[in-house]
Amino acid sequence: MFERTYIEEAKGRLGERVTLAGWVTRTRDLRKFLFIILRDSSGEIQVTVKKGDESIEGASDLTLGREDVIKVTGRAVESGVVHAGVEFIPESIEVLNKAKQPLPFDLFGTVGAELDTRLNYRFMDFRAPKTQAIFRIQNVLLTAFRRFITEKGYLEFQPPCIIASASEGGAELFRLPYFEKEAFLAQSPQLYKQMAAISFEKVFTVTPIWRAEKFNTPTHLNEIRQMDIEQAFADDETVMKVLEETLVYMLEAVREESPEDLEHLSREITVPELPLRRLTYSEAVEQLQKAGEEMVWGEDFTKAQEQRLMEIVGREAFFIKDWPSVQKPFYAMPHEENPDLVHAFDLVYNGIELSSGTQRVHIPEILRQQLRKNGLNPEDFTHYIESFSYGAPPHAGWSIGLERLTMSVTGMENIRECCMFPRDRDRLVP
């Protein structure tokens, strides 16, 4: 490749001969001038082509359309005429690749396109400033998570994505043929996290998971990514503390590293104060009932109730802990004094369920009981149960949905905005 200078860098090196390369955002073609708005990942600059100037190589027969990829050699100079104050005077212009016209939708125009249209041409939608802002912020969240958790001494591991049987019960799994056997796409790295934690003590993973539910909502996808941790010699309270600290760290990272992207999305980050309010499930139900909500102890909260609860609590983030066992998976540790409750928690942030976790059952006999209680057959979980028979410490963990976290941070109302290539009930391409 040729030696290339980013546009923003060139603006700081006025008068120097450099080569820029990028996309044509738009052109303004006048009698004597051709103005090209050139864009790369760093920014934009106007390339001013004086028509009829024989000294500009490649300019005589130049025809440009939006999103053409070009390479321009010349100098950035100060200019009193251009609003930006700087323009680029070319010596040579080369088209590296033409874009087919008309484009599938307007990237920088006034018309805009629907999410569905944009997703059909996602490769191009990635060039829209708003889309770029969303995924840059997602990247900051992910990087911050890894950095924080790694510094705390957790080991990153890779769970399998193809598994032999259901890991949690509940959600439907995608089936696939596996030679002469049947296999499934993992709905959770749950069991593998536990098996890793009872030996490595502190582990984490970032992994995709799949749910074969036919949901059709703005907050569900069939393929999502989770950020999970699991820790030995820990109970629910231990990992709740880790969770709230992680959340605050990630939010602060976005606030500090992505001010421009946040501005693009008209978002402000409010970082909650620690410790977060911890509401028991029973308290939450009581509060809602007091506020006039029809609700029976043991039921899950509806979306509307979760919203209501947020208003009552008056915080953007809080925990709901000590759930009824019927609402949580079999591996959640029952309460010592009240077996109807389990050591499980949810983190609600901006009105959506962002994360959930539990202290796990590490005693084989209790695990068998819990499986039976949940209508599952312990025989199907032999390997899993066995892993706790050779010195498994008490342990706990949680997971955060990456797309949902991105949603609440960027203020998007559809989770598809926060997944580069979303998989939903109907969408399998691109």
Q: Which is nearer to RNA, 5 or 187 (CB)?
A: 187
Partners of residue 36 on adjacent β-strands: 27, 47
Q: Which of 90, 101, 28 is nearest to 59 (CA)?
A: 90
Q: How far is CA 347 from the centre of its chain?
A: 16
Site mask, RNA, residues 48-87, x = CB under 7 A? x-x------------x-xx------------x-xxxx--x
CA gap 139, 330 in Å, rounded: 33
> φ and ψ at 82, to 5 degrees?
-75, 135
Quick one: angle between helices 236-257 and 129-151, nearest 10? Answer: 140
Instruction: Examine residue 113 and tell whether it contacts RNA (CB under 7 A).
Output: yes
Instruction: Examine residue 220 and tell whether it contacts RNA (CB under 7 A).
Output: yes
CA gap 102, 366 in Å, rounded: 64
Stretch that binds RNA, among 7-15, 98-106, 129-137, 361-369 (CB under 7 A): 98-106
Q: Calculate ∠ Cα 77-108-417, nearest 5°.
A: 125
Q: SS3 letters for 349-412?
A: ECCEEEEEEEEECCCHHHHHHHHHHCCCCHHHHHHHHHCCCCCCCCEEEEEEEHHHHHHHHHCC
Q: Is 207 helix (H, G, I), strand (E, B) or coil?
A: strand
Q: Which is nearer to RNA, 21 or 186 (CB)?
A: 186
What distances in angstroms separate CA 388 from CA 169, 197, 344, 367, one per listed residue? 19, 11, 20, 9
CA gap 47, 90 in Å, rounded: 7
Instruction: Examine residue 33 and tell whether it contacts RNA (CB under 7 A).
Output: yes
Q: Which is nearer to RNA, 26 or 267 (CB)?
A: 26
Q: Which of 52, 102, 153, 292 binds RNA (CB under 7 A)?
A: 102
Stretch that binds RNA, among 46-54, 232-240, 241-249, 308-316 (CB under 7 A): 46-54
Instruction: Examine residue 31 and tell whether it contacts RNA (CB under 7 A).
Output: yes
Pairing, β 86-97 against β 43-50: parallel
Site mask, RNA, residues 318-347, x = CB under 7 A? -----x---xx---------------x-x-
CB of 26 to RNA, least distance (A): 5
CB of 367 to RNA, least distance (A): 18
- Return the number of other C-beta atoms located less than 10 Å from residue 90's C-beta: 25
Instruction: Examine residue 375 and tell whether it contacts RNA (CB under 7 A).
Output: no
CB of 234 to RNA, least distance (A): 18
Instruction: Examine residue 161 and tell whether it contacts RNA (CB under 7 A).
Output: no
User: Taking CB under 7 A as the criterion, which residues in 286-315 touch RNA?
Assistant: 300, 302-304
CB of 355 to RNA, least distance (A): 8
Instruction: Examine residue 353 and tell whether it contacts RNA (CB under 7 A).
Output: yes
Instruction: Examine residue 29 and tell whether it contacts RNA (CB under 7 A).
Output: yes
The label of the residue with tokens 């051709």 reads: 34
Instruction: Examine residue 187 and tell whether it contacts RNA (CB under 7 A).
Output: yes
**Residues near RNA (CB under 7 A):** 26, 28-33, 35, 37, 46, 48, 50, 63, 65-66, 79, 81-84, 87, 101-106, 109-117, 168, 170-171, 187, 211, 213-218, 220, 300, 302-304, 323, 327-328, 344, 346, 353, 356, 399, 401, 413-414, 416, 424-427
